[in-house]
Structure 1
Amino acid sequence: MIIKKFTALFQSCFGLSISGSGAADSPSLNLLDKSSSCSSSIIRLSDGRYLAYQERGVPKNEARYKVIIVHGFGSSKNMSFLLSQEMINELGIYMLLYDRAGYGESNPNPKRSTKTEASDIQELSEQLQLGPKFYLIGISFGVYPLWSCLRRIPKSLAGVAMVAPMINYNWPSLPNELVKDDCRKGMTMWGFLAARYIPWLVHWWLTQKIFPSSNVLDRNRKFFCDKDLEVLKNTPTFKLLGRESLKQEGVFDSLRNDFMAAFGKWDFDPLELSDPFPRNEIGSSLHIWHGRLDKVVPVELQRFVSGKLPWIRYHEVPDKGHLIIYDDAVCEAIIRSLLLGEDNPFYRPKT
């Protein structure tokens, strides 16, 4: 059934748990050290929409490194990124997190596309005067805006890190032999069709109480390794959205538009991009971080991408799945690799 496939994709592939009680409607817990500087504000974009953001880390005018972090599907600017205050102060890191269009306190964008995602990041960086170059870190679904930035504003980027990145099966250079037996390709296709042509039915299925909905732990274990299941069970606020949230005006539409922008036909092929950091300066590089046991996005796809674009610095986290961002050691390694050019041998892929 198309609706069940789409529901499973919403719940399983992106860690979204539909809670019957609606009690867990808050965004994921911010586990950044509580003593860090943190504030929330909004800017007005050129098209009139408002974009909410949050600043963490050292003051912007004192920072050596300025990093924009892009959250994933169903998340927000309050997402977790496990860095100690000691490391933030040591390296002088200023972090800017924002609610992507339609999430949190940001206005929705019914015309959302890969292009508008990059435009939002560019306008945010310009209005906050981050300087000529800044770093980007994208998490899971929040990676497709990064590909667009690499395509459209490469000269503004000092370095990019993609963490457990989503893959669009419509990329022209993705060989059919690699994905023909991947069940996620079919689920994505059916999910896209359902979101496009019968969104009202999908919305009803996600919010109805007549029939039991799939439970992310009990029904979709095939999408999570044991380490991911531990995170799901031990992180109380991981359940990002409940039925009541999805009933709120605009919430489901924003999720649907995000899904369609990510898995629709893009106006460029990421696997044909040229190296945006040809000088190979320290920190000026593109990194992909992926869990070896990831069942949401198979590791074989990331290995293909990094092989197709040999200028990518590929890191593989052993014994971890899709939710590697919940590991503080991994977060620290991501930052040290991105900003300092360090290469931890523990995360080198198997040859």
Structure 2
Amino acid sequence: MAARAPTQRLLRLSRPISTQTTASASASPKTASTTTLNPAHSQTITLSDGRTLGFAEYGDPRGRKTLLYFHGYPSSRIEAKLLDKLALAHSIRILALDRPGYGLSTPQRPRRSLLDWPRDVEAFAASQHLDRFAVLGLSGGGPFAVACAHALPPRTLTAVGLFASAPPWAAGRHHMTRARRILRVLANRCPGLVGALTMLALRFARWLVGTRSVATRLDAWLELANEQAREKEARRLKADPTAQPRTVTAPDARPVAEQRVALLDMLIGEPFAQGPDGAVQEARILTDDDWGFRLNDVTYRDSPIKIWHGTKDVNAPIEAIRYLAGKLPNAELHEFDQDTHYTMGEHIEAAVLDLMGETQKEKK
């Protein structure tokens, strides 16, 4: 789908708010994964309050540019593996962080807020000796990228991006689906119940995918998806011989059984390795009308905050994203006609390269 012409709005900015934390040396991983991960994909640091923060490194370890990747909801750092080859080809270093309660990162108690995340990010950046970096929030990671744009010293950020971002509920609850409105109520009033139901659902899902019949069907679906991806890529390259092959949406060359295990690990293994606390907390945070700051007070101003979003996204209605772009002091909204939350993946490569100031033909 072609993107509409981006809209850009510039408003007066307020003074920056900075955070200060420190991080110590790496801690031992605290989760058992269903797959064997590359050591670079299972790293940790210990924060000043004793919590563990997990992260993975993808792309070029000595890349010219650094991108901090904030995963979706619920998910984990290994989500960013899809960008590994793209980042390597363009000399980009990707550091994907687990938010509290996901993957290797221990939960944060008591009542966590959106603005706690920039403090963790600043501590992480200090531990990795990062002076400047870009941030990209995908889906549920979007609001956390906005929080960093507000709370981190602007001099540390080279770019800020939101891809298929979760919406601000301040735009109006009427934009959200009934299921999400119900989740909001339960997460605030009965978090223990949400956690218990989540664990029951996870146990059932793990049992179900372990049965031969479901595993066989899942393998068949993966084979079909790979074949469709091959055909689609062939048509695209035939239509435009100058186009570069895609890496994110390219067919997976691994044995289908290995693909299945990796997929399940990404969907339910790592996100819930420490239980449902992270997801329950974020259900409350992401549906809160108040993010802890006003959108028009966001301090990052060096370049527009770039937003890529599908107009048919039911998870995050475009009306709420337009509200977000309109309130931010400096935003650039790219709308993709007919794309949903799940078809936006076709545009992730171009979005990452745009955010990092690269083009398809600028390779190391």
Question: Do structure 1's residue 197 and structure 2's residue 214 form an aligned pair?
Answer: no
Equivalent-residue separation in structure 2 for 1:138 and 1:303 (angstroms)? 17
Question: Do structure 1's residue 287 and structure 2's residue 306 form an aligned pair?
Answer: yes
Q: How does 1:1-351 map to 2 (within 5 A)?
A: 38-59=40-61, 62-80=62-80, 82-83=82-83, 85=85, 87-111=86-110, 112-131=112-131, 133-153=132-152, 154-169=154-169, 171=170, 174=171, 176=172, 180=174, 182-184=175-177, 187-208=179-200, 234=225, 236=260, 237=263, 240-241=267-268, 250-264=274-288, 265-270=290-295, 272-274=296-298, 276-278=300-302, 284-309=303-328, 311-324=330-343, 326-327=345-346, 330-340=347-357
Report the CA distance shift for 1:28/1:331 in structure 2 as closer, same or farther (over 3 A). Answer: farther
Q: Deviations over 1:188-217 (max 9, x none)?
A: 4432331232233334444558xx99xxxx
* TM-score, reference length from structure 1: 0.67
Equivalent-residue separation in structure 2 for 1:338 and 1:99 (angstroms)? 21
Which structure has the greater CA radius of gyration?
2
Q: What residue ranges of structure 2 are gaps of 5+ in the alignment?
A: 1-31, 206-220, 226-258
Per mean C-alpha deviation after superposition, the further-off stretch among 292-301 and 40-49 is: 292-301
What is the RMSD of the two structures over their aligned residues, measured on CA atoms? 3.4
Q: Which amino acid aligns with 1:52?
A: G
Displacement of 1:263 in angstroms is 2.0
Q: In the comparison of the two structures, how many residue pairs are matched?
A: 271
Displacement of 1:93 in angstroms is 0.5
Equivalent-residue separation in structure 2 for 1:331 and 1:28 (angstroms)? 25
Displacement of 1:187 in angstroms is 4.3
Q: Verify the 8 A CA contact 2:308 2:333 in the aligned structure 1.
A: yes
Equivalent-residue separation in structure 2 for 1:143 and 1:257 (angstroms)? 16
Percent of aligned positions that are identical: 25
Displacement of 1:122 in angstroms is 1.1
Equivalent-residue separation in structure 1 for 2:200 and 2:300 (angstroms)? 47
Equivalent-residue separation in structure 2 for 1:192 and 1:117 (angstroms)? 20
Report the CA distance shift for 1:305/1:168 in structure 2 as closer, same or farther (over 3 A). Answer: closer
Equivalent-residue separation in structure 1 for 2:183 and 2:194 (angstroms)? 9
2:140 aligned counterpart, secondary structure: helix
* TM-score, reference length from structure 2: 0.64
Equivalent-residue separation in structure 2 for 1:146 and 1:198 (angstroms)? 28
Equivalent-residue separation in structure 2 for 1:28 and 1:193 (angstroms)? 35
Displacement of 1:29 in angstroms is 12
Q: What residue ranges of structure 1 are gaps of 5+ in the alignment?
A: 1-24, 214-229, 279-283, 344-351
Q: Deviations over 1:133-189 (max 9, x none)?
A: 1000111111121111111113321101101111131x3xx3x5xx53x352x5444
Equivalent-residue separation in structure 2 for 1:311 and 1:208 (angstroms)? 43
Q: Verify the 8 A CA contact 1:27 1:79 in the aligned structure 2.
A: no
1:288 aligned counterpart, secondary structure: strand
Equivalent-residue separation in structure 1 for 2:81 and 2:336 (angstroms)? 17
Equivalent-residue separation in structure 2 for 1:324 and 1:253 (angstroms)? 29
Displacement of 1:82 in angstroms is 3.8
Q: Which amino acid aligns with 1:54?
A: A
Displacement of 1:27 in angstroms is 8.8
